[in-house]
Amino acid sequence: MEPSQFSATTHERLVSELAHRSGPHRLEIAERIERARELGDLKENADYDAAKNEQGLNEARVRQLEAMLRDAVIVQGPSGETVEAGVIVEVRIAGDDETQSYLIGSIEERNDTYEVLSTSSPLGQALIGHGPGDTATYETPKKAVLEVEIVSIRPLG
């Protein structure tokens, strides 16, 4: 598995989330499970089932965060000259008049303005290293080959 690339802000957010989920949140869930156990029969105890379900989801997210952060690479200030993690790329698919803009990076980047395009996705991989005016081809999941023109690139923020 290739290392996850994050901006410094996203890395800090994920480290903070991991600390919360593996510390205070884990304890809150354990306390809710204990209180639900005190209510009696666990077979028909909705509070117990809900708390155990939340515990499972929390532990899965903790494992996911630990795996992502273990090999994380923090991307510092991309130049905006070529497509790389941390840039906004505007592309035009061959035959289309409209352009689409994407934030290149990990899906964990989460952005309210731009759709995130992972560096490990077929389109993301095809665009990496190219500059404005370049064209790149990639194969869609349905095996169609599309040509994409890079219209512009700029750093996020």
Instruction: Band the pLDDT of 157: cuts 50, 70, 90.
Output: low
Burial 133-154 (b: 16+ CB within 10 A, else e): eeebebeeeeeeebebbbeebe
Domain boundary residue, one of 74, 95, 118 = 74
- Contact between 25 and 31 under an 8 Å Cβ cutoff? The reply is no
Taking the C-alpha atoms of residue 79 and residue 59, their distance in angstroms, rounded to an integer, is: 37
Show the domain range for 105.
79-155
Q: What is the CATH number of the domain that holds 144?
A: 3.10.50.30
Do 135 and 149 reside in the same domain of the chain? Answer: yes
Do 100 and 43 reside in the same domain of the chain? Answer: no
Count: domains in the chain: 2
pLDDT in tens, 39-82: 777 777 888 899 999 999 999 999 999 998 998 888 776 666 88
Residue 154 has pLDDT above 90, yes or no: no
